[in-house]
């Protein structure tokens, strides 16, 4: 059940198992294993197994015993149900179905079609896990993985079957699961990702459950070596106006509800808190919100391209959209109108969406449309962001679609900064962009995206820095010098001398006068900022993390971009507050 993940930059490492403890006990005179088992509410055999005791009749005074945590056998908290005004997306607990494994046994699913397996199930709970435990005691990571890969591949691979596959294919390191080997049982691949709620959202909206680590023990604190348990996140929605996430918990075999608190997800039978450990799976061809009721797993899949149960995997099969009109501007989830309906009709024509699905919301860019678009993108070599942008339009054009040539005006009244992006992704941004509610960010977002396409600097980091450094464009440096990033020196229009606060250990915060670069336009400032980071060797390490905005921010801070000790944390807070990483997705189009 329990374990923690050891991170390694070079390769995807296994979950390193640790005994499922909440209590230790020093043996006293007169104690017996049976008496202690009754006292702590566990079985004598389990107590012996946890402590590697070969002779249950022999324990020594002073011997330290670890007492297994038995919460996995307690009833789960009742899954939340929809109240008036609540909205539920893929994976919400609005309905369940069932899947059947190769032995003919059926298993309930969460609403998205992910099997709900319990690690302590009699069918497999007693199986030896790795080299020194059992699935019941330490199989949470493996059971969570079985749930995720079953949904994504359409093959109901139960924990016992996955354990047998791992045994045959050297899929354990001690008691630690080798993620990628486990994924191959379903013809998939596994990837350790940086913690990011946007990554989770994109995956589950596309029908891809993700496995995350949680802590619940007093003092474990999360983070490195803090993962006590693993669960499978399957969907998200809102309850009482608040964002919630749904997960299948292998400890109970039931669904739990988590809420978002300060960038972490919290909830479940032991008040779980996510630790930042996140594993995603690629390959297969999942359909959001659908189950595979008659999946056959007699032989693990080796291809990962066919869906063997439930809704068939969509293919173009020679279908074209020749002559169909498609939008020229960008579209994202939440958009409505005739342009969205054009996109939906093309997705129906190509088989990525059914007419019945479209009829539930014609002209509304909702979760079904986003999921279908992600599948189209993945099938045509475009990063599956679910955002309809330049590269996605090009993919449709290759199939014969007619995309209008003029860019849609942005909704804030400012013009687009360039034409349709080419395959090099370095030209400007077309069409309306997402609105954040912050007028400054909405005004300069296109410049940040353009900088990302030219230099690789995540647009979210650029926007957060601009907001922080310029006081949302209201600082003297921004108004007098069009300098939004506090870069010192001579600029295209000379320099501006301004007082600035700096921090040092010897002086603390103090004010000094300094020369800052002056620009002719705000766009020059954004372009120079990206170039400044890209060409300065001191920031080279940051560019190893262009897909992880938070880490990119930490790296430029570590390299000396700002003297404020809390600089990186402030940037990350701004990124999360305004969900700025959606602009990174657009920048990758």
- Residue 557 confidence class, pLDDT cut points 50, 70, 90: very high
* 3-state SS assignment for residue 193: strand
pTM value is 0.41
**Cα 146 versus chain centre, distance:** 18
* pLDDT tops 70 at residue 375: yes
CB 206 within 8 A of CB 371: yes
What are the residues whose beta carbons fall under 8 Å from the beta carbon of 119, sequence distance 6 or more?
1, 72, 125, 135, 136, 139, 140, 142, 143, 159, 250, 251, 253
**114 with 147: CB under 8 angstroms?**
yes
Residue 451 Cα distances to 241, 384, 532, 533, angstroms: 35, 21, 11, 11
Specify the higher pLDDT residue, 507 or 480: 480
Q: How far is CA 345 from CA 53, 141, 432, in A?
A: 65, 41, 21
Closest CA to 231 of 207, 262, 200: 200
Q: What is the largest CA-CA distance in the chain?
A: 87
Q: Is the dihedral of CA 401, 434, 589, 11 positive or negative?
A: negative
| Model confidence at 250: pLDDT above 80 | yes
Q: Which of 32-36, 88-92, 95-99, 443-447 has maximum average pLDDT?
A: 443-447
**Alpha-carbon span 49 to 176, nearest angstrom:** 17
Average pLDDT over every residue of 313-332: 69
Q: Quick count: other Cβ atoms within 10 Å of Cβ 509?
A: 10
Inter-residue contact 497 to 514 (CB < 8 Å): yes
Please say whether the dihedral angle defined by the alpha carbons of residues 559, 564, 566 and 570, taken in this order, is positive or negative: negative
Closest CA to 25 of 62, 70, 53: 62
CA dist 201 and 234 (Å) reads 10
Q: Which two tokens stand for residue 399?
A: 């199939």
Could you tell me which of 313, 360, 364, 359 has the C-alpha nearest to residue 343?
364
Strand locations in 219-341 (E): 229-239, 242-249, 254-261, 264-267, 272-282, 325-326
Q: Among 36-50, 188-202, 530-544, where is mean pLDDT lowest?
A: 36-50
Q: Which two tokens stand for residue 253?
A: 């075999």
Domains assigned to the chain: 13-70 (3.10.350.10), 79-282 (3.90.70.10), 325-403 (1.10.101.10), 439-587 (1.10.530.10)
DSSP 302-314: SSS----SSSPPP
At 370, the pLDDT band (50, 70, 90 cuts) reads: confident
Measured distance CA(87)–CA(90) in Å, rounded: 10
Q: Yes or no: say if 217 and 229 are a contact pair by the CB < 8 Å rule.
A: no
Report whether pLDDT(89) > 70: no
């Amino acid at each position: 059940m329990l374990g923690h993940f050891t991170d390694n930059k070079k390769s995807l490492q296994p979950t390193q198992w640790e005994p499922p403890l909440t209590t230790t006990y020093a043996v006293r005179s007169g104690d017996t294993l049976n008496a202690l088992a009754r006292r702590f509410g566990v079985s004598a055999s389990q107590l012996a197994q946890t402590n590697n005791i070969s002779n249950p009749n022999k324990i020594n005074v002073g011997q330290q015993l670890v007492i297994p945590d038995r919460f996995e056998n307690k009833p789960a908290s009742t899954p939340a149900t929809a109240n008036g005004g609540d909205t539920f997306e893929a994976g919400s607990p609005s309905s369940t179905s069932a899947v059947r494994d190769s032995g003919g046994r059926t298993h309930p699913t969460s609403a998205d079609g992910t099997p709900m397996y319990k690690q302590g199930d009699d069918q497999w709970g007693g199986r030896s896990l790795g080299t020194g435990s059992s699935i019941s005691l330490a199989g949470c990571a493996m059971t969570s993985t079985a749930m995720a890969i079953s949904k994504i591949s359409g093959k109901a691979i139960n924990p016992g079957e996955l354990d047998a596959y791992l045994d045959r294919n050297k899929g354990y390191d001690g008691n630690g699961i080798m993620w990628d080997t486990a994924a191959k049982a379903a013809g998939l691949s596994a990837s350790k990702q940086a913690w990011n709620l946007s990554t989770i959202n994109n995956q589950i909206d596309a029908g891809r459950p993700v496995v995350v680590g949680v802590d619940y023990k007093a003092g474990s604190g999360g983070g490195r070596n803090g993962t006590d348990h693993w669960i499978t996140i399957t969907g998200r929605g809102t309850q009482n106006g608040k964002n919630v996430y749904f997960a299948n918990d292998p400890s109970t075999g039931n669904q739990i509800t988590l809420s978002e608190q300060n960038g972490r997800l919290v909830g479940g039978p032991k008040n779980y808190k996510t630790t930042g450990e996140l594993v995603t799976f690629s390959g297969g061809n999942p359909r959001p919100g659908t189950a595979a009721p008659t999946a056959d797993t007699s032989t693990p899949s080796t291809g990962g391209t066919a869906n063997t149960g439930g809704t068939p995997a969509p293919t173009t099969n020679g279908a074209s959209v020749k002559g169909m009109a498609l939008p020229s501007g960008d579209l994202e989830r939440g958009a409505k109108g005739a342009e969205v309906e054009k996109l939906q009709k093309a997705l129906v024509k190509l088989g990525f969406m059914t007419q019945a699905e479209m009829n539930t919301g014609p002209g509304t860019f909702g979760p079904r449309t986003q999921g279908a678009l992600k599948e189209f993108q993945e099938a045509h070599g475009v990063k599956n962001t679910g955002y309809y942008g330049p590269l996605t339009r090009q993919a449709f054009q290759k199939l014969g679609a007619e995309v209008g040539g003029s860019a849609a005006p942005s909704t804030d009244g400012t013009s687009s900064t360039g034409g349709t992006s080419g395959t090099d992704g370095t030209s400007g941004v077309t069409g309306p962009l997402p609105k954040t509610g912050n007028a400054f960010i909405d005004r300069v977002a296109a410049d940040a995206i353009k900088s990302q396409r030219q230099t690789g600097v995540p647009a979210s980091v650029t926007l957060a820095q601009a907001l922080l450094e310029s006081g949302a464009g209201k600082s003297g440096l921004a108004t007098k010098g069009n300098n939004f990033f506090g870069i010192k020196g001579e600029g295209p229009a000379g320099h501006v001398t301004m007082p600035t606060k700096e921090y040092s250990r010897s002086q603390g915060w103090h004010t000094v006068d300094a020369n800052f670069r002056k620009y002719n336009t705000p766009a020059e400032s954004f372009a120079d900022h990206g170039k400044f980071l890209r060409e300065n060797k001191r920031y080279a390490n940051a560019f190893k993390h262009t897909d992880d905005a938070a880490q990119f921010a930490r790296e430029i801070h570590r390299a000396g971009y700002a003297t404020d000790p809390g600089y990186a944390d402030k940037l990350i807070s701004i990124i999360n507050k305004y969900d700025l990483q959606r602009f990174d997705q657009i920048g990758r189009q």
